[in-house]
Chains A and B, each alone.
Chain A
Amino acid sequence: MKTTKEKILHIVENGYLGVILVFLYAPILTMMALSFNSSKSRAQWGGFTLDWYAQMFDSASITSALYNTLYIALMSALIATVIGTAAAIGMNSMKRTPRAVLTSLGNIPMLNAEIVTGISLMLGFIAFGITLGRTTILLGHITFNLPYVVLSVMPKLKQTNKSTYEAAMDLGASPVYAFFKVVFPDILPGVLSGFLLAFTMSLDDFIITHFTKGSGVNTLSTLIYSEVRRGIKPSMYALSTIIFVTVLALLIVANFAPGKKKGEAAA
């Protein structure tokens, strides 16, 4: 039985959650609405249309920006996950001081201002005569993705029980086999969340890309930035709406899939 006080508290809490969610999602709904606006102007409602969805892939600049965005997000997340996971395992067996130094240095791209990271990378590429292009964006993204992966994997690694690994070794497993059989399953959630986080960060990045991109290479972010001044093509809203709705739907399906509830307690 709930007391009245608790009920009121519950309502207040729900109200608060609601307000925050409206705050977070209002701009997103606005964008979605604009994707159906027949006027190209952001400030005027010209009537309902689906034209922008039809035209979405007509524009070569949008399709190539989309391709670049996904390519860079996927590749940078993959590479960062591999290097970062290996690094976390390596660092876990380091002595305290070198580990602390490496952690601090490694965290710089995460804690530093993005503008400084972006500029420093640009200066670095130019100083070493590396032509700016898609590869430089990729290198930049891996750089800022790495600390997120390390941070996601590290806590899981600390939770693993060292003796199971040793036991596996004692029973004759090779270190590599023992690792993949015993340790890896335990840290997998951390690896996956690191990957997803890296993917998302890379997808949403503008500033690092802005400074490290080469000629003719655009991601969705830089394309949007170059369109801000002349007015965004509404097909960009359409594309963003589709990406967003797809991800949302997939997450809802994944989260509320039948049969999930039972295992909940085990998590």
Chain B
Amino acid sequence: MKKRFYAASLAAVLTASALLAGCGSSPSGKSTTGASDAGEVYVYNWGEYIDEDVIDMFEEETGIHVVYDMFETNEEMYPIIEAGARNYDAVCPSDYMIQKMMENDLLAELNFDNIPNYKEIDPEYIERSKEFDPENKYSVPYTWGTVGILYNTSMVAPEDVPTKWMDLWDEKFKGEILMQDSVRDAFMVAQKALGYSMNTTDETELAAARDLLIRQKPLVQAYVVDQVRDKMIGGEAAIGVIYSGEMLYIQEEVENLGLDYSLEYVIPEEGTNVWIDSWVIPKNAQNKENAEKWINFLCRPDIAKLNFEYITYATPNKGAFDLLDEELQNNKAVFPDIESLQNCEVFRYLGDEADQMYNEMWKEVKSR
């Protein structure tokens, strides 16, 4: 009898999978037909960092098949590009990681003749990119933003509203703090709080930042990356360190859900990290021209606008910015005045030795 049961369930499983596989194979089938003439482009981007319609539009317009993949942190992306076990044509790392890839000779120079839409990028951000790409030869800015403190108006009394990083060490917020779970972001908070540069390689300064982070650990509810957003919306924590790009989504969601509190964003007075995520092409890319077409496509104002509306991270694309509603253009949480950002820095790559020092110290914080 057992036999029949197995046979029946097996048949069931097989039918189910055949059915589901049938549904699943259709989209990939569609795209392979397009791939035959114009080739492919392997894109490696952050999770949820593009409107998927944009990929379809690109495929339709160019006939290039997009193989799209995602990473969670710069640190995770790097060894994959370095090892070369997987080949990507267009990657979207952050500032300091671009510098690291450049210095380790992993990037190809872009041919800007193939990226005419580069002219749409606001010169302000091209200038800022020089921090990590001094001659602007390797990168095309995709998004930018700041890192700040998000707080819940109903859980933080008006007199306790955070204004500086040091407020994240306030005993009042014990168990109510969400910190960033990535080395450089976490250290940035402590370094800025101590008045150091966030690009320091000085061991005593770093050790001081580490000790400060260790002191903060009992107050921290969790170290998270993008989950800050959902947890803050859900009222799980009172304050959290967050990327400015999440603000638009948060404001909309708070409104949609009709919550009885609101979430406000502060840029701490000690200054913060101004970050830029840019598209680059790895040296071992197999389809460099297609990658350039891809980057060019993303720089087209209407596409950049579409993308901005989906991912809500500030766009450095002047053309797209001009297409936005005035209300959005003036939303200071999304587009802060870049001139007003005093003491702000862009992350730089600090060399392998310093990298290792950061990693070691972060591990010491985490294991405490």
Q: Quick check: do A and B touch in the complex, using CB within 8 A?
A: yes
> What's the least CB distance linking B238 to chain A, in Å?
14
Which residues of chain B are near A70, meaning CB under 8 Å? 17, 20-21, 24
Contact B3 A132 (CB under 8 A): no
CB-nearest residue of chain B to A239: B20
Contact of B21 among A42, A67, A133, A250 (CB under 8 A): A67
> What's the least CB distance linking B49 to chain A, in Å?
8
Query: In the complex, how many residue pairs between chain A and chain B have their CB atoms under 8 Å apart?
Result: 154
A131 close to B (CB within 8 Å): yes
Contact B47 A226 (CB under 8 A): yes
Alpha-carbon distance A64/B8, docked complex (angstroms)? 28
Binds B, one of A95-103, A104-112, A211-219: A211-219
A30 close to B (CB within 8 Å): no
With A46-B257, A131-B85, A226-B71 given, is the CB distance from A263 to B4 under 8 Å? yes
Alpha-carbon distance A228/B229, docked complex (angstroms)? 12
Alpha-carbon distance A188/B4, docked complex (angstroms)? 10
Q: Number of B residues contacting the other chain (C-beta, 8 Å)?
A: 58
0/1 interface trace, chain B 1-26, chain A, CB 8 Å (1 if under): 11111111110111011001101111
Contact A189 B3 (CB under 8 A): yes
Which residues of chain A are near B266, meaning CB under 8 Å? none
Contact A267 B24 (CB under 8 A): no
Binds B, one of A18-26, A157-165, A191-199: A191-199
> What's the least CB distance linking A59 to chain B, in Å?
6
Contact B230 A189 (CB under 8 A): no
A254 close to B (CB within 8 Å): yes
With A215-B44, A229-B47, A231-B226 given, is the CB distance from A254 to B9 under 8 Å? yes
Alpha-carbon distance A64/B87, docked complex (angstroms)? 19
Which residues of chain B are near A247, meaning CB under 8 Å? 12-13, 16
Within A16-56, the residues touching B (CB, 8 Å) are 39-44, 46
Contact B230 A60 (CB under 8 A): no
B155 close to A (CB within 8 Å): no
A57 close to B (CB within 8 Å): yes
Which residues of chain A are near B10, meaning CB under 8 Å? 192, 195-196
Within A56-71, the residues touching B (CB, 8 Å) are 57, 59-61, 63-64, 66-67, 70-71
Chain A residues within 8 Å of B, Cβ to Cβ: 39-44, 46, 57, 59-61, 63-64, 66-67, 70-71, 73-74, 122, 125-126, 131-133, 188-189, 192-193, 195-196, 199, 214-218, 226-231, 243, 246-247, 250-251, 253-255, 257, 260, 263-264, 266-267
Question: Could you write out 6 A-B pairs with CB less than 8 Å apart?
Answer: A41-B253, A43-B231, A73-B17, A215-B42, A254-B5, A257-B8
Known pairs A228-B227, A231-B48; list 20 more (Cβ under 8 Å): A39-B253, A46-B256, A59-B52, A63-B27, A66-B24, A67-B28, A70-B20, A70-B21, A74-B14, A215-B42, A216-B42, A216-B67, A227-B48, A229-B47, A229-B72, A230-B229, A231-B229, A251-B9, A253-B12, A260-B4
